[in-house]
Amino acid sequence: MSETSWVTKAVIPVGGMGTRFLPATKAMPKEMLPLVDRPVIQFVVEEAVEAGLTDVLFVTGRNKNALENHFDRSTEVENLLESRGDATRLSEVMKATSLANIHYVRQGDALGLGHAVLKSRQHVGHEPFVVLLGDDVMEIEDQLLRDMLDAYREYNATIIALIEVDPDQIHLYGCAEVETTSDAQLVRIKNLVEKPQTGTAPSNLAIIGRYVLKPEIFDVLENTKPGAGGEIQLTDALKVLAQDDKIAGPVFGFIYKGKRYDTGDKLGYIQAVVEMALQRKDIGPALKQWLKQFGGG
């Protein structure tokens, strides 16, 4: 079992097909949909950087060009803004290019999240690392990832973010069977079930898209067979670790109470856009006024 070491690497799988958002995602990854004027993926990368991670690996699929271009320089756009003296927009545009050291690996066939994570093996090497799902957006001020990394360092454990959901929603998530610990925010995970059938879920604690993982997960993923939906599931590999702490130590769940948006889901996406727009100084007041008049039906 490895000693705790400093975590610097973030792996962000963006290779999914985004079927829930078709046809918008036919030619563009869902992670490039804008939340007001920044693509979803930029919020996720900013969260990783805010938590102290300096190296980002995207595991990409088809249509990765827009995403790659977003994190690259665009001299054409930069020159235009410079010639107009538009320093505000210029700094917004430049921000994405200097956030972190960004790398890419192709997933090939989209065989599931577990498969996407396995594709990061060579880049990650024998180090602990963080996985952030590219369509899951957290309130950055809540510092979820920072807290998870603190828990990792304290317990030398795999740490998975969990939220409490309505029991009738748990079948949409990976679900954790847990034991409490002396820390109210941390639970010991005893078992995991991906998308449990209604009435069979061991709890209402759902896995969300933030994980602090140890490199031992890769060997387990190598041997993980397709599970729910015919996909190689990260949850199934984590279940193996949770049931045998000799492999990589214990698996803990960190219960997140803050705000989260599932932007891969149409309703979740619209909620994120409206809430973020309302918080903005430039358009928030006018949107609020309009929402009042509109009445929402």
Q: Which two tokens stand for residue 153?
A: 């360092």
Angstrom distance (rounded) from CA 145 to CA 172: 23
Write down the least CB distance from residue 41 to ligand UTP, Å.
10
Residue 40 binds to ligand UTP (criterion: CB under 6 A)? no
- Give the one residue of 10, 11, 43, 107 binding ligand UTP; rule: CB under 6 A: 107
- Indicate whether 227 belongs to the interface with ligand UTP (CB under 6 A): no
Binding residue for ligand UTP (CB under 6 A) from 7, 18, 100, 130?
A: 18
Strands 251-255 vs 158-164: parallel, antiparallel or unpaired = parallel
Which residue's Cβ has the minimum distance to ligand UTP? Answer: 16
- Cβ-proximal residues to 39 (8 Å cutoff; 6+ apart), any chain: 31, 32, 33, 67, 70
- Residues with Cβ < 8 Å from 150, sequence gap 6 or more? none
* Peptide bond before residue 23 is cis, with ω within 30 degrees of 0: yes
Does 237 interact with ligand UTP (rule: CB under 6 A)? no
Q: How far apart are CA 69 and CA 28, in angstroms?
A: 12
- Contacts with ligand UTP by CB under 6 A: the residue count is 20
Q: Is position 208 an interface residue for ligand UTP (rule: CB under 6 A)?
A: no
Q: Per rule CB under 6 A, is residue 119 in the interface with ligand UTP?
A: no
Contact 264, 169 (CB under 8 A): no
Cα 106 to chain centroid distance, Å, stands at 18
The mark string for 52-91 relative to ligand UTP (x by CB under 6 A, - otherwise) is: -------x--------------------------------
280 and 187 Cβ atoms separated by less than 8 Å: no
CA angle 257, 263, 264 (to 5 degrees): 120
Asked if 110 is part of the footprint of ligand UTP (rule: CB under 6 A), the reply reads yes
By CB under 6 A, the residues from 134 to 173 that bind ligand UTP are: 134-135
Selected range binding ligand UTP among 41-49, 127-135, 266-274, 277-285, rule: CB under 6 A: 127-135
Which stretch, 16-24, 75-83, 91-99, 158-166, contacts ligand UTP (CB under 6 A)? 16-24
Cβ closest to ligand UTP, residue 131 vs residue 201: 131
* 235 counts as binding ligand UTP under rule CB under 6 A: no
Strands (E), the chain: 9-14, 34-35, 38-39, 55-60, 101-106, 129-132, 136-138, 158-164, 174-180, 186-194, 205-213, 251-255, 260-262
Residue 113 binds ligand UTP, judged by CB under 6 A: yes
Q: How far apart are CA 249 and CA 291, in angstroms?
A: 50
Site for ligand UTP in 245-274 (CB under 6 A): 264
Q: Does 115 bind ligand UTP (CB under 6 A)?
A: yes
Provide the minimum distance between the beta carbon of 166 and ligand UTP in the complex, in angstroms, as a whole number. Answer: 19
Q: How far is the CB of 163 from ligand UTP (least distance, A)?
A: 15
251, 157 Cβ separation under 8 angstroms: yes
> CB neighbours (10 Å) of residue 126?
11
Q: Is 130 in the site for ligand UTP (CB under 6 A)?
A: no
Q: Which stretch binds ligand UTP (CB under 6 A): 12-20, 79-87, 267-275, 280-288?
A: 12-20
**Contacts with ligand UTP, residue ranges (CB under 6 A):** 13-20, 59, 107, 110-113, 115-116, 133-135, 264
